[in-house]
C-alpha cells in the first residue's frame, strides 16, 4: 500500500525500513507534523501514518478525505487526538496499536519516580562539576509506602507488579476493575487520594478523564504525595498542579506528558526557547522531573509498534477484519 508517515523521527525510521522488508509497503517518510495545512502532502497515498502529536481534527480529516486517503494508521495506543466522528463521516478508517511492551512505559515511570525521589538528576550534575556534597539529596524508602495506581490496564498492571516488588502496598482505581491480583486492593478514588504516598496515572485521556487531577483532587491527597503521569498531559490541570507545588501540598511530580506538548515535544527548542509559561514554570520547579513523551522509547516497544502498524495497514489493504480498528464509542 502507498503509505505516508508524518512526524517521522530518526529513532523509528530504521525500524520501519527493516520491518517493512517483510511487508513491502511503499513508504514515504516526512518529518513534518500532520495538520490541516500539511494534509495535502498525502495526495496520492491511501494511508497516512500518524503519531501522538499530529493534529487529526475536523479540518485535517476533511483535507485527507479530499486527497483520497482511506486509512489513518496511528502508531500509538492513545487516539484522543483524532476526531473519530469526523473520520467516520468521511469514511476514513482509523487503526491503532492497542498494545506494545507495557513494560517500556511502566519502567520509565519507575525511572522517573526513582530519579525524582533520590534526586539522581541533581546528583549527576553535581558530580560532573566535582561537587560531591550530599546536601539536599535526601530521599525516602519506597519499601512499605502506599502507591495508588489509577487505571489497571496493561501498563497500570505492569507498574503495580514492579511496585509490589519494591515492597509497596498497591491501591488501585479503575472504572472497570478487572484483575484478580491479590496484591492489589481496589478502592474508591477518594480513598486512593487520601492514602497514597505516590499516585501514578495509567488511563486514557477522554471527556471523562480530562483534568482528573485538579484543584479539588489535589486538596484530597495525602500531604507530600508524589504524582507520576506517563499517560496523557490532559489528565492533569497543569495550573492546579503548579498551585499545589507552590503551596507545598505535593512533594513532587514526575511527568512524561504535558497537556500542550504537541507544540514542543519531539523537537529542539534549545536555541529559540519556549513561549509556554506554564510548561516553563513546571520545568523550573526543582521537584518536577519532565521527560518529553519518551516512556515508549525502547527497542522492544518500537519493534512492536512498527510491526503492528504495518500489519494493520496490510490487513486493511487485504480487506481482512481489522482487530485494531478504533471504534467511535471506544472513548
Residues in contact with ligand NAI by the rule CB under 6 A: 77-78, 102, 105, 151-156, 174-176, 202-204, 208-209, 230-232, 256-257, 293, 295-296
Q: How far is the CB of 155 from ligand NAI (least distance, A)?
A: 3
Q: Which of 232, 239, 271, 299 is catalytic?
A: 232
Q: How far is the CB of 282 from ligand NAI (least distance, A)?
A: 16
C-alpha cell at 271: 536555541
Does 293 qualify as catalytic in the annotation? Answer: yes
**Do 191 and 166 contact (CB within 8 A), yes or no?**
no
Q: Which is nearer to ligand NAI, 71 or 158 (CB)?
A: 158
Q: How far is the CB of 104 from ligand NAI (least distance, A)?
A: 7
CA–CA dist 16, 48 (Å, integer): 14
Q: How far is the CB of 97 from ligand NAI (least distance, A)?
A: 9
Does 223 qualify as catalytic in the annotation? Answer: no
The neighbour count for residue 144, using CB atoms within 10 Å, is 10
The neighbour count for residue 180, using CB atoms within 10 Å, is 6
- Whose CB is nearest to ligand NAI? 153
The backbone torsions φ and ψ at residue 134, rounded to the nearest 5 degrees and listed phi first, read -105, 0
Q: Which of 12, 259, 261, 262 is catalytic?
A: 261
CA–CA dist 155, 251 (Å, integer): 24
CA–CA dist 327, 189 (Å, integer): 27
R_g of the chain computed on alpha carbons: 21
Residues tagged active-site:
232, 261, 293
Amino acid at each position: 500500500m502507498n503509505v505516508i508517515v508524518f512526524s517521522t523521527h530518526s529513532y523509528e525510521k530504521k525500524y520501519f525500513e527493516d520491518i517493512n522488508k517483510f511487508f513491502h509497503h511503499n513508504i514515504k517518510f516526512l518529518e513534518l507534523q500532520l495538520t490541516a495545512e500539511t494534509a495535502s502532502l498525502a495526495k496520492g497515498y491511501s494511508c497516512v501514518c500518524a503519531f501522538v502529536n499530529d493534529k487529526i481534527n475536523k479540518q485535517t480529516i476533511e483535507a485527507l478525505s479530499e486527497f483520497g486517503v482511506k486509512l489513518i494508521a496511528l502508531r500509538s495506543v492513545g487516539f484522543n487526538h483524532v476526531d473519530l466522528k469526523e473520520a467516520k463521516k468521511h469514511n476514513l478508517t482509523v487503526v491503532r496499536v492497542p498494545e506494545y511492551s507495557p513494560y517500556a512505559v511502566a519502567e520509565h515511570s519507575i525511572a522517573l519516580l526513582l530519579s525524582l525521589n533520590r534526586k539522581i538528576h541533581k546528583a549527576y550534575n553535581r558530580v560532573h562539576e566535582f561537587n560531591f556534597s550530599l546536601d539536599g539529596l535526601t530521599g525516602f524508602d519506597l519499601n512499605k509506602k502506599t502507591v495508588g495506581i489509577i487505571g489497571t490496564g496493561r501498563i497500570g498492571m505492569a507498574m503495580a507488579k514492579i511496585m509490589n516488588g519494591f515492597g509497596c502496598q498497591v491501591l488501585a482505581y479503575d472504572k472497570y476493575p478487572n484483575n484478580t491480583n491479590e496484591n492489589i486492593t481496589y478502592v474508591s478514588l477518594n480513598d486512593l487520594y487520601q492514602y497514597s504516598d505516590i499516585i501514578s496515572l495509567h488511563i486514557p485521556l477522554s471527556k471523562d478523564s480530562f483534568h482528573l487531577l485538579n484543584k479539588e483532587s489535589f486538596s484530597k491527597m495525602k500531604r507530600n504525595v508524589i504524582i507520576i503521569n506517563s499517560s496523557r498531559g490532559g489528565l492533569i490541570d497543569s495550573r492546579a498542579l503548579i498551585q499545589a507545588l507552590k503551596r507545598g501540598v505535593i512533594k513532587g511530580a514526575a511527568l512524561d506528558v504535558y497537556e500542550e506538548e504537541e507544540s514542543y515535544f519531539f523537537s529542539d527548542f534549545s536555541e529559540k526557547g519556549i513561549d509556554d509559561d506554564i510548561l516553563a514554570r513546571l520545568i523550573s520547579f526543582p521537584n518536577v522531573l519532565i521527560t518529553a513523551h519518551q516512556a515508549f522509547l525502547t527497542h522492544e516497544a518500537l519493534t512492536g509498534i512498527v510491526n503492528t502498524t504495518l500489519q494493520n495497514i496490510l490487513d486493511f489493504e487485504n480487506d481482512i477484519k481489522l482487530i485494531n480498528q478504533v471504534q467511535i464509542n471506544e472513548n
